[in-house]
């Protein structure tokens, strides 16, 4: 009886020790994997090819009427805001271009470089007056192709 | 639930329409006396309290925001615990920020307000953003909570939540934390506020 208890106790200790060792080796392996991944990860040093993104936006006229908001005025307002915030270099990199604008509905598509997405959202929020009309620009959706953006505009 | 907790202008149907278009469900304004719903947007009172007048507003309904204008406002901050929903630090009137002040902000535990219009105005006028960056650094290290709000005084100044998210990420905050500051923290505050 005593022998059985002894065997059970020894096996329990052995299993606990093996669990501890196993956990330790798992932690070490995880650390090693992280180090190897870090060495192999060259994304931060790689220059990514900038892709165009298409942002569907809607203009809400707060004062004045929507048909007075014209495409060249929006482009001018965006350009001046962009130059003010990010400078000439930023503007030439982002190149926000309005590729479509429906004056009756106030819905349009803006194209820009994908890695400047957050900057463009900020830019749109700072565009508060277009052609003498106080506006709020609401970003609706971002797509990767012009066709999808046009689909969204038709559905909106 | 999207909430703009610092709309500072007068509230009318136009504000409700713009807020609805921007996706907000709740707007807090100091010009609102009693909670009401206009065009599907809930307007709740925003009570801006100074340290001296805290007891007057103790039973008030709405989101209570402590305005911190001097270092003395956070003196013995433990008395403020649970009495205010958030704090707004007016850095212009504060002067230098000491370690002691930071310790008090951390100890207060209430979310700190970051006003979009104030930050943007500072950027556009070329003034430094050091104190905001300090707040965001503390937030990134999980020492304090931060939430973003528009600080608009009229409907055309209202901003889309993605713009606030973008501002925080452009200032260097990780995306998950920026999202939390725009979405989760204001929603929690609205849920906890008495109204």
Chain B residues with CB inside 8 Å of A122's CB? 163, 166-167, 170
To probe the interface with A, which of B14, B122, B162 has the most A CB atoms within 10 Å? B162
What is the domain count for chain A? 2
Class of domain B46-182: alpha beta
Q: Is A135 on the interface with B (CB under 8 A)?
A: yes
Tokens standing for residue B170: 């452009």
Q: Are residues A61 and A138 in the same domain?
A: yes
Neighbours of B47 (CB within 10 A): 21
- DSSP, residue by residue, chain A: -HHHHHHHHHHHHHHHHHHHHHHHHHHHHHHHHHHHHHHH--TTTSPPPPPEEEEEEEEEEEES-GGG--HHHHHHHHHHHHHHHHHHHHHHHH--EEEEEETTTTEEEEEEEGGGHHHHHHHHHT--EETTEEEEEEEEEEESSHHHHHHHHHH-
| Cross-chain residue pair A121–B154, CB shorter than 8 Å | no
Q: Print pLDDT tens along chain B (195 aa).
A: 899 999 998 898 999 999 999 999 999 999 998 889 998 999 999 999 888 777 777 777 889 999 998 888 888 777 778 888 899 999 888 878 888 889 999 998 899 999 999 999 998 888 889 999 999 999 999 999 999 999 999 998 999 999 999 999 999 999 999 999 999 999 999 988 755
Looking at residue B84, what is its pLDDT?
A: 87
Q: Are residues A16 and A60 in the same domain?
A: no
Q: Are residues A41 and A58 in the same domain?
A: no
Q: Tell me what the pLDDT averaged over chain A comes to.
A: 89
How far apart are the CA of B26 and the nearest CA of chain A, in angstroms? 18
Looking at residue B98, what is its pLDDT?
A: 85
Q: Are residues A67 and A81 in the same domain?
A: yes
Q: What are the tens digits of pLDDT across the range A99-130? A: 999 999 999 999 999 989 999 999 999 998 99
Q: Are residues A37 and A74 in the same domain?
A: no
Looking at residue B75, what is its pLDDT?
A: 81
Q: Are residues A16 and A67 in the same domain?
A: no
Looking at residue A44, what is its pLDDT?
A: 59
Does the pLDDT of residue A62 top 80, yes or no? yes
A-B C-beta contacts closer than 8 Å = 54
Q: Are residues A102 and A128 in the same domain?
A: yes
Grade residue A95 by pLDDT with cuts at 50, 70 and 90.
Answer: confident
Q: Are residues A76 and A141 in the same domain?
A: yes
| Cross-chain residue pair B165–A121, CB shorter than 8 Å | yes
Pairing of strands B63-68, B86-89: parallel
Chain A residues with CB inside 8 Å of B155's CB? 62, 136
Q: Is A156 on the interface with B (CB under 8 A)?
A: no
Q: Are residues A111 and A60 in the same domain?
A: yes
Tokens standing for residue A133: 């009309």
Interface of B with A in 160-179 (CB under 8 A): 160, 162-163, 165-167, 169-170
Looking at residue B126, what is its pLDDT?
A: 87
Grade residue A98 by pLDDT with cuts at 50, 70 and 90.
Answer: very high
Q: Are residues A6 and A72 in the same domain?
A: no
Q: What are the tens digits of pLDDT across the range A16-52? A: 999 998 888 888 888 888 888 877 776 656 678 889 9
**CATH code, A61:** 3.30.70.3250
Secondary structure class of B147 (helix, strand, coil):
strand
The domain in which residue A145 lies consists of 52-155
Q: Are residues A38 and A63 in the same domain?
A: no
Identity of the residue in B123, B155, B162 whose CB atom sits nearest the CB atom of A121 = B162
Tokens standing for residue A146: 């012009």
Judge if ipTM > 0.95: no
Closest CA to B87 of B100, B62, B69: B69
Mean pLDDT lowest for which of A68-72, A78-82, B54-58, B138-142?
Answer: B54-58
Q: Are residues A91 and A147 in the same domain?
A: yes
Tokens standing for residue B142: 């999980």
Q: Is B146 on the interface with A (CB under 8 A)?
A: no
| Cross-chain residue pair B21–A126, CB shorter than 8 Å | no
Q: Is B16 on the interface with A (CB under 8 A)?
A: no
């Amino acid at each position: 009886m005593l022998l059985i208890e002894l065997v059970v106790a020894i096996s329990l200790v052995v299993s606990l020790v093996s669990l501890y060792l196993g956990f330790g080796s798992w932690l070490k392996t995880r650390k090693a994997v992280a180090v190897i991944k870090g060495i192999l990860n060259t994304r931060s040093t790689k220059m990514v090819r900038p892709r165009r993104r298409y942002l569907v936006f809607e203009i809400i006229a707060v004062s004045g009427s929507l048909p007075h908001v014209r495409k060249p005025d929006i482009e001018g307002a965006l350009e001046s805001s962009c130059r003010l915030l990010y400078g000439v270099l930023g503007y030439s990199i982002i190149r926000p271009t309005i590729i479509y604008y429906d004056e009756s509905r106030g819905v349009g598509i803006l194209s820009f470089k994908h890695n400047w997405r957050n900057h463009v959202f900020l830019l749109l929020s700072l565009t508060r007056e277009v052609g003498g009309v106080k506006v709020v620009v609401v970003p609706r959706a971002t797509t990767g192709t012009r066709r999808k953006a046009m689909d969204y505009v038709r559905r909106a | 639930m999207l909430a703009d907790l610092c709309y500072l202008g007068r509230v009318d149907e136009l504000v409700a329409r713009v807020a609805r278009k921007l996706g907000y469900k709740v707007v807090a304004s100091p010009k609102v006396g009693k909670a009401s719903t206009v065009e599907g947007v809930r307007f709740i009172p925003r009570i801006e309290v100074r340290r001296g007048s805290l007891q007057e507003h103790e039973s008030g309904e709405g989101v209570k925001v402590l305005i911190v204008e001097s270092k003395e406002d956070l003196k013995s901050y433990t008395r403020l615990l649970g009495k205010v929903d958030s704090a707004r630090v007016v850095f212009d009137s504060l002067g230098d920020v000491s370690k002691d002040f930071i310790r008090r902000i951390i100890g207060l535990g209430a979310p700190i307000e970051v006003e979009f219009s104030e930050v943007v105005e500072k950027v556009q006028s070329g003034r430094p953003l050091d104190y905001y960056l300090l707040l965001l650094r503390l937030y990134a290290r999980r020492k304090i909570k931060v939430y973003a709000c528009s600080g608009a005084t009229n409907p055309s100044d209202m901003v889309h939540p993605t713009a606030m998210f973008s501002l925080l990420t452009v200032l260097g905050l990780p995306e998950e934390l920026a999202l939390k500051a725009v979405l989760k923290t204001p929603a929690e505050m609205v849920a906890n506020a008495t109204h």
